[in-house]
Each structure stands twice: as C-alpha cells, then as structure tokens.
A and B are shown apart, each in its own frame.
Chain A
Amino acid sequence: MDQFGSSLDRLARAYEADPEKRRDLSQDIHFQLWRSFQRYDGRCSLRTWVYRIAHHVATSHVIRERRIFWSLVTLEELETFPDKEGPEAATRRVNLDRLSALVQRLKPLDRQVIVCYLEDLDAASIGEITGLSPGNVAVRIHRIKNVLVKWFHEEKNYG
C-alpha cells in the first residue's frame, strides 16, 4: 500500500471536498482494498486492481451522497461553462483548489479519466480501469486538457 498511498489520498480529494468526509472516504478505500486483496488473482495488473477498487468505492460514495440541488456535469457541459469568477478572485485562489473544484464537479466516469490522467497513467491503463475504448479515452483527455487550459491560462492572461 505504500506504493499507492499518496495516489489514493489524491484520488479521495477528487471525490470529496469536505476534509472530514474525505478522511472517511480514504479509510473506506483502504478498508475495501484490504478486503479485496484475497480475491486478487493476477488477471489484471495490481495497479489496475487498486485503482478500480478505489474508484468504485469513491463512485459509490458520490452516487450515495449526491445532492438534489447540486448536479454533476459531463465534460461536454463543463466545456461550455463560463468562468464566473473575476480575475481578482481567481488570482486569490490556489491553483490546486481550482483544479480540485473542477474535478469534483464532474460525473464519476469523467472523474475517473481525469484523475487517472493527472496521476500520469497511460491511455491503455486508463482504458483498462474505466472500461472506455482507447479512442474514447483519447477524446476525453483531449477535452480535459482544453478545459484545464481554458480555466487556468485565460485567467493568467487576465492577471
């Protein structure tokens, strides 16, 4: 678990903004992983197994905790979002908070792709974890990059 500990902490941040709930989610992920290892039979790599279980736990958490007046969005919808914050507010915020807030707005599957991408996984591994075809992964990563560039670089130009 030492090998994946930091990645799993970051993954929990992508799914839960509240620190207390995030700690619980992180513990749930470790607990479910601990339970799951007796079933691991090497049919996929250990990394794929760990990420799958972690994303499954986090996805369950998101679906269970969904708020009625807080809709999650798809990548396509996120692309059309205007950046409502002015340059002043934007410069005040830490980049990591902005990145996390953006990721936390996404629906679970898009969130899986973006987290795996940010964790530096290759397209084949992302496909194996999410079940998306390489073409689909490529398109989504391309869109993710465009959204990130739009949200971050435009704001730098304002500043």
Chain B
Amino acid sequence: MGDELPRDEFKAIWHSQPTGTSTMTMKLIRSKARDLQAKTRRQLLGTVAAPLAAAFLYAFGIREFPALEHVMHPLFAFTLVWSLVGLYFLNRGMWSTVMPGDAGLSTGLEFCRGEIERRRYLLRRVLLWSLGPVLLAIGTFILVLAMIGTKDRGLFPNGLPFLALVVVWILGYFVMRGREQRELKRELDELNDLEKDNSR
C-alpha cells in the first residue's frame, strides 16, 4: 500500500461539514479551569456518599433501636472505618496519572489501553471501597430490623417492600457493573491482539 490514500467521496462528505473557529482565549482557559475544579469537587463529594450513608444508618439505628446497640456498634463501626479508609483508596485511584495533554508521546493504542485499564481499576475500587461498606451498613440495618421483627411481628413484614427494593437495586447495580467490566476486558483483549498483530 502506498503512502498516498486516494481521495474519495467520503472524504469530500467529511470535509463538507461546517466548522467554527475555536480560539483559546485567557477567558476560556480560566473558564475551563473553573469547570475542572467544579468537576473535581463533585467527584470528591460523590466519594463521601458511602461514609455518609453508613453514618446515617448507624445514627438512625442507635436512635430507633437502642436495645440492639450491642449488635450495631461493632458492625456499624467497622462499616464506618471501612468506608473512611475507602475514601483514601478511591481518591487515589480516581485520578489519572497522565492527563491527555501530557501524553503526546504515547500512541493511540497505548493511551487507549491505559484509559481502559484505569477505568476497570476504578470500577473495582468503587465496588470494594464504596459499595462494600454501603452494603454492609444496609445488611446490618436489615439484620436489626429482622431481630426486632421476631419480637414485634408487625415491623418486619412492613419492611418487606423496602427490603425487596434494596435487593433489586443491589442486583441491578452488580449486573450493570459486571457487564461494564466484561466489556472493558473484551476491549483490552482486542487491543492486546492488535498489539500482537503489530509485532508480527
């Protein structure tokens, strides 16, 4: 194959699209920097959701069911510590070590693989350090409800719709995340195959 690819009608169609003139002004740079800061704040806020949920369930459980403090204290305390430690690991895994603008010497193949690996790593971290504590907190709360329910028959059956909703949410979340993980793995395998082809 020669270096020159023949120009054809698809290229003509592609080049026919209207384009604007984008210039990088100081105003725009400042605005982009502000956007990035706001996005960072939102992401940081998102990582606090797990400790907040655990703390809320802890406080609510202790307030409503003081008789079962001995069950709740160790489990909820463990959940809180788990989610707080998770904050560190989540934030460490969240940020890309290389921003696109710093990767001018990396090829598309290298960068693409790096981004997919980072995404997979982040998904795993979220499951372990964010969803894990939340699930334990919810599980503890359900356990408390079940224990109360054995004493007071009316409470647990009333909580069944809530319990069913929680189970559906958890299952749905796992199914979707599992699907995304498999898709990312498949893409990584494809990129590895491409790299093998390259070296032949």
Q: B110 in the interface, Cβ–Cβ < 8 Å?
A: yes
B104 in contact with A52 (CB, 8 Å): yes
B100 in contact with A57 (CB, 8 Å): yes
Q: A79 in the interface, Cβ–Cβ < 8 Å?
A: no
The CB with the most chain A CB atoms within 10 A, among B7, B23, B108, B194, is that of B108
Q: Residue A31 contacts which of B5, B10, B32, B108 (CB distance < 8 angstroms)?
A: B32
CB distance from B29 to the nearest CB of A (A): 7
- Give the number of chain B interface residues (Cβ < 8 Å): 51
B10 in contact with A99 (CB, 8 Å): yes
CA distance A34 to B31 in the complex (A): 14
If the complex has contacts A118-B11, A120-B11, A123-B3, are A52 and B106 also in contact, measured as CB distance less than 8 A? yes
CA distance A103 to B179 in the complex (A): 23
A27 in contact with B102 (CB, 8 Å): no
If the complex has contacts A56-B106, A99-B13, A122-B3, are A32 and B179 also in contact, measured as CB distance less than 8 A? no
Instruction: Please give 4 more A-B residue pairs, beta carbons under 8 A apart, in addition to A5-B19, A8-B22, A123-B5.
Output: A30-B28, A32-B99, A109-B108, A117-B11
Q: Residue B108 contacts which of A28, A99, A108, A145 (CB distance < 8 angstroms)?
A: A108
Within 8 A of A (CB), among B99-132: 99-112, 115-116, 119
CA distance A150 to B198 in the complex (A): 27
Q: Which residues from A are CB-within-8-Å of B7?
A: 120
Q: Which residues from B are CB-within-8-Å of A143?
A: none
CB distance from B171 to the nearest CB of A (A): 15
Q: B21 in the interface, Cβ–Cβ < 8 Å?
A: yes
CA distance A100 to B32 in the complex (A): 27
CB distance from A15 to the nearest CB of B (A): 12
Nearest first, the 7 closest Cβ-Cβ pairs linking A and B are A131-B107, A32-B101, A131-B109, A56-B100, A9-B19, A130-B108, A35-B101
Q: B69 in the interface, Cβ–Cβ < 8 Å?
A: no
Q: Which residues from B are CB-within-8-Å of A32?
A: 99-101
A56 in contact with B108 (CB, 8 Å): yes
B17 in contact with A96 (CB, 8 Å): yes
| Chain B positions near chain A (C-beta within 8 angstroms) | 1-5, 7-8, 10-11, 13-17, 19-24, 28-29, 32, 96, 99-112, 115-116, 119, 176, 179-180, 183, 187, 190-191, 194, 197-198
B103 in contact with A53 (CB, 8 Å): yes
Q: Which residues from B are CB-within-8-Å of A71?
A: 183
Interface of A is mostly: helix
- Closest residue of chain A to B96 (Cβ to Cβ) is A60
Q: A80 in the interface, Cβ–Cβ < 8 Å?
A: no
A136 in contact with B194 (CB, 8 Å): yes
B180 in contact with A68 (CB, 8 Å): yes
Q: Which residues from B are CB-within-8-Å of A128?
A: 107
Within 8 A of B (CB), among A100-122: 100, 107-109, 112, 117-120, 122
If the complex has contacts A52-B103, A136-B197, A141-B5, are A9 and B10 also in contact, measured as CB distance less than 8 A? no
CA distance A8 to B29 in the complex (A): 17
Within 8 A of B (CB), among A39-80: 39-40, 43-44, 49, 52-53, 55-57, 59-60, 63-64, 66, 68, 71, 74
If the complex has contacts A96-B17, A120-B11, are A108 and B112 also in contact, measured as CB distance less than 8 A? yes
